[in-house]
């Protein structure tokens, strides 16, 4: 597994996203992923699956020190007391003594505690040794800049939606300048890339699937990690098989195709019950 060096920390370039994974399927997926070599696992309090993720971690024969484990604060847990208590609850559910990274899931809204209070409490968890690093999710460059100003501990990552249809170049430029990791969720545009003509054509050249090309496109960009969700062994294995080929500069530029309509359409389809 390739890693990305950020702020002196090695982060696996490819991780397992667990959004919408629940019950025994979640536990089995985490265990299988770790058996296959995944070492970066992402969850969130809002996903309601931390306990199941923890059972998967427990079942796998992997040393805790070799993992990069991430969870995110729910919107209801932004005041200092809730940050501390909910994080300890997350640790209990995950069956671990510490988190590699704790994120703010979405920017604080006016009816939540101030961002400074949330970050101060997260800094306290770092000082206690319960959290190694802190970060944010779904923050724009301006919001990320503000969080970095308010936090004594460095902001290690900003986890955002990023795929060929969703342009994040402004944020990525900011992250590179300030040594912040950009972690890409929904890297396959919720399945939208699977029939993309450009990705199919590029994939045919390399003997790879469109999904593998999309993931390679992300991790080949400096300072970008990707956390695709997968549940079957075949998909988990396929997602891992992206480090044995390289895209050309022309292919990298051709694949980038920002489209808000495609992004919105795939999101809506992913919410349908059929």
The span from the CA of 232 to the CA of 189, in Å, is 18
Specify the range with the lowest mean pLDDT, choosing from 45-49, 156-160, 257-261: 257-261
Rounded to an integer, the average pLDDT of 106-128 is: 96
In the predicted model, what is the mean pLDDT of the chain?
Answer: 93
Give pLDDT tens digits for 33-68.
Answer: 999 999 999 999 999 999 999 999 999 989 999 999
Rounded to an integer, the average pLDDT of 240-258 is: 92
What does each C-alpha distance from 236 to 14, 16, 88, 229, 232 come to in angstroms?
A: 11, 9, 30, 8, 6
**Residue 190: predicted pLDDT:** 86
- Kindly list the domain boundaries of the chain, sorted by start residue: 10-191+218-231
Give pLDDT tens digits for 120-156.
Answer: 999 999 999 999 999 999 999 999 999 999 999 999 9
Query: pTM of this prediction?
Result: 0.92
The number of residues making up the chain comes to 274
Q: How is domain 10-191+218-231 classified at the CATH fold level?
A: TIM Barrel (3.20.20)
Q: Are 161 and 218 in contact (CB under 8 A)?
A: no
38, 47, 165, 174: the catalytic one is: 47
- Residue 47 falls in the annotated catalytic set: yes
Rounded to an integer, the average pLDDT of 11-29 is: 97
Percent of the chain with pLDDT over 70: 94
**Residue 117: predicted pLDDT:** 98
**Residue 1: predicted pLDDT:** 81
């Amino acid at each position: 597994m390739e890693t990305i060096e950020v702020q002196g920390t090695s982060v696996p370039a490819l991780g397992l996203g667990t959004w919408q994974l629940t019950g025994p399927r979640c536990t089995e997926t985490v265990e299988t992923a770790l058996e296959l070599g995944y070492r970066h696992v992402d969850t969130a309090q809002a996903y309601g699956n931390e306990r199941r993720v923890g059972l998967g971690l427990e079942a796998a024969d992997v040393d805790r020190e070799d993992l990069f484990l991430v969870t995110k604060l729910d919107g209801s847990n932004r005041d200092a007391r809730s940050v501390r208590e909910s994080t300890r609850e997350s640790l209990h559910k995950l069956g671990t003594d510490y988190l590699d990274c704790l994120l703010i899931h979405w920017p604080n809204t006016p009816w939540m505690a101030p961002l400074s209070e949330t970050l101060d409490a997260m800094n306290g968890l770092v000082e206690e040794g319960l959290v190694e690093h802190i970060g944010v999710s779904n923050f724009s460059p301006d919001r990320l800049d503000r969080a970095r100003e308010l936090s004594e501990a460095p902001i290690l990552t900003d986890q955002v939606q990023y795929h060929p249809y969703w342009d994040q170049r402004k944020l990525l430029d900011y992250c590179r300048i300030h040594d912040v990791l950009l972690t890409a969720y929904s890297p396959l545009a919720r399945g939208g890339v699977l029939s993309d003509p450009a990705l199919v054509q590029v994939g045919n050249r390399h003997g790879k699937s469109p999904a593998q090309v999309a993931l390679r496109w992300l991790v080949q960009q400096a300072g970008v990690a990707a956390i695709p969700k997968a549940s079957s062994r075949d998909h988990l294995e396929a997602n891992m098989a992206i480090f044995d080929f390289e895209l050309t500069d022309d292919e990298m530029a051709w694949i980038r195709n920002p489209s808000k309509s495609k992004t919105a359409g795939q999101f809506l389809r992913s919410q349908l019950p059929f």
